[in-house]
Amino acid sequence: MAIVKMNKFNLLAFKSERDDLLNILQAFNYVHFNDLEEDEQRSYLSEVRNTDQLQKIDSSINRADYVINLLENYMKDRDIKPDTSFTELSLEDVKKKGANFDFDLIYGKIKDLVGQREMALGQRNELTNKIEALKPWKDIDVDIQELYDSKRVFVETGTISDQFYDALEKAIVERNLEKSLVYKVSELDKTNYIVALSSIEEKEDLVELLREFGYSRVKINSTSKIGEEIYDLSGKLEDKEQLIKNLENEILDFKKYLKDLYIYKAYVLNLRRKEESSEFFLETGLMNVIEGYVPVEATERFKKDIKNVLGDAYILDIEEADKEDSCVPIILKNNKLVDPYEEVVKTYSLPKYNEVDPSGLVAIFYTIFTGFMIGDLGYGALATIAILLALKLKKFPTSTEKNLRLFLRISLSACVFGAIFGSVFGGIIDVPFGLIDPATDINELIVMSLVIGAVSLFVALAVKAYMYIRDGKPMDAMYDVGFMYMVVGGAVALALTKNPIAKWVMIIGILGIFLFSGREAKSIGGRIGSGFYEVYGLTSWIGDFVSFLRLMALVLSGSFVAYSVNLIVDLVAGNGSIGGIIAGIIIFVVFQLFNMFLSYLSAYVHGLRLIYVEMFNKFYEGGGVKFREMIEDTKFVKILRGGDNE
């Protein structure tokens, strides 16, 4: 439960050694560079710009993403599962494998195949459209072009709405167009596809009549009989379909390189991480000016690596980082039991360098909060088994593994509280060890929730007092924490015992807060105003305590839903029929799993709220800077740190 101590360094080195320096520092990893900016008073220093190189690397990253996503999508469409097992390699191995992998060749071949496929797809669509356009005319058993080119007869092809076709035929008769006729070839979606014919003499009259009935001219693009044209086009379409299939299979053959592509992406991402680091530097014509931080425990290795690569041609100054320096980057260091809870802290905000690492506190209370809210031995045991199997059978990225271990602890806590409540999947199994029945012992649940809340809030205040005392401010601890203890503790004691001493303790605490909360104000009015404001703020403690009743509310909601599911299962399967038993099993499994999911989700979210809003509000400010390592893991590649990269 600690923030890693840092040393601040300033380094002056020759520009010609920059690449070698960055290489060895990336292998070292634990160095955080400050982003130095140009200063008018030091006009001889300018910011390092590495734009061209970074653009080239970004292009490589984008191309790698393109190929990986393409192959993954092709495999997904064919229900082929890629080998996504996690790979652990040293940085040196990643560099060797990445540099030796001929990505440009692979990319070029895939890009060419994709281009051919896209062209074939366009041609396939064109053939499909032609066939669809000709299908309504397939019953015309003559060369349509010969009809269009006829010198003795006027021929038109087009469409007319079904509701006007009969009226059109009737109008031809009524207007005595004896040498004109219309012939319906086909009908589709209430549209008639027709051929209109007339003598040359009646051409204008027929065209005018067709226009009156909403006729639309359609030019049939065919150089032979339409049936024959469709047959030829269908053959070409089949050829295109086969070509597309062959091209897709050729693209899919590159899936054998997917593992290499994952490593290549890790290679270029870390190459970018190295190259972008130089943009934090300042430079002169010959020198680089570098500033940053390194963990105290790694400082000797840091100095040794720099000397190995630079010899004696450098100037290095190292000093202990200032505790009040807001730029000091943060690394949290905890044991295996606590480190999963670092993710909870990071989700809110990293602590500043002069604060305490709240991970240990979060580990205790977040585990209690979430386990209480789930409160079912069956749910906890099921999740515990699933998580243990997952951790045993598969390697995960560090962040995923930490989250799994976090939920493992939550599940174990759920088992403990499930045993206390005597709940196994909502009471489907009678157990003899339950101490509290959530269905009947409501008062006990309320008391438990409030006691847990009171303890967590008092501990949070104690941490604030510790920080004051650590920083040599014991009176501030008394003013901001001691008096608060007197007020809240006195109020609780007065409510429980009616003892007048408790009343006077509370009053003294209120007076202390009124008199000393505005102690930094420069005027009497400011101190009085701050005092009134802080005393009024004491009412928020009521809301803080009430907020912890969500512990009771969520365990009740989850247990009642589970109990209701069990009642339904009993009704469905109670008659003993095979169908009823099968239906009961399905209902039980589906809805218990769904309720388990909701219970875990609610516990996760509301547990975070209790930590962030109720506890952190009492002592934690946050806003720390994340330590920027020089090595970056990817989704499927973990790069070994420290001595593994030597």
pTM, entire model: 0.80
The mean per-residue pLDDT over the stretch 386-402 comes to: 89
Mean pLDDT of 252-257: 93
b/e per residue 211-225 (b: at least 16 CB within 10 A): eeeebeeeebebeeb
Q: What is the per-residue pLDDT across 185-203, written as a single tens digit (0 to 9) for each?
A: 898 888 999 999 899 888 8
> Among 142-151, 468-477, 556-565, which is the least confidently predicted range?
142-151
Tell me, what's the pLDDT at 149?
Answer: 82
Asked if pLDDT for residue 40 goes beyond 70, the answer is no
Instruction: Indicate the pLDDT class of residue 1, thresholds 50, 70 and 90.
Output: low
Mean pLDDT over 443-467 rounds to 91
What b-and-e string marks burial along 141-150, b requiring 16 or more CB atoms within 10 Å of the CB?
eebbeebeee
- 466 versus 523: which is more confidently predicted? 466
Q: Quick one: angle between helices 442-470 and 550-573, nearest 10?
A: 140
Read off the pLDDT band of 601 (50, 70, 90): very high
Give the model's pLDDT for residue 367: 96
Backbone φ and ψ of 331, nearest 5°: -125, 125
Q: Calculate the average pLDDT of the chain.
A: 89
390-422 in b/e burial notation, b at 16+ Cβ within 10 A? eeeeeeeeeeebbbbbbbbbbbbbbbbbbbbbb
**pLDDT average, residue stretch 211-224:** 86
The residue behind tokens 């959530």 is: 438
Give pLDDT tens digits for 224-239. Answer: 888 888 899 999 999 9
Q: Which residue has the higher pLDDT, 435 or 519?
A: 435
DSSP category for residue 225: B
Residue 637 phi, psi (nearest 5): -130, 125
Q: Are 611 and 452 in contact (CB under 8 A)?
A: no
Nearest to 112, CA basis, from 237, 247, 241: 247
Residue 509 and residue 487 in contact, taking contact as beta carbons nearer than 8 Å: yes
Per-residue pLDDT, 510:
82
Share of the chain above pLDDT 90, in %: 56
Residue keyed to tokens 């102690």: 519
pLDDT over 60 at 646, yes or no: no
Task: Report percent pLDDT > 70 for the chain.
Answer: 98
Contact 197, 140 (CB under 8 A): no
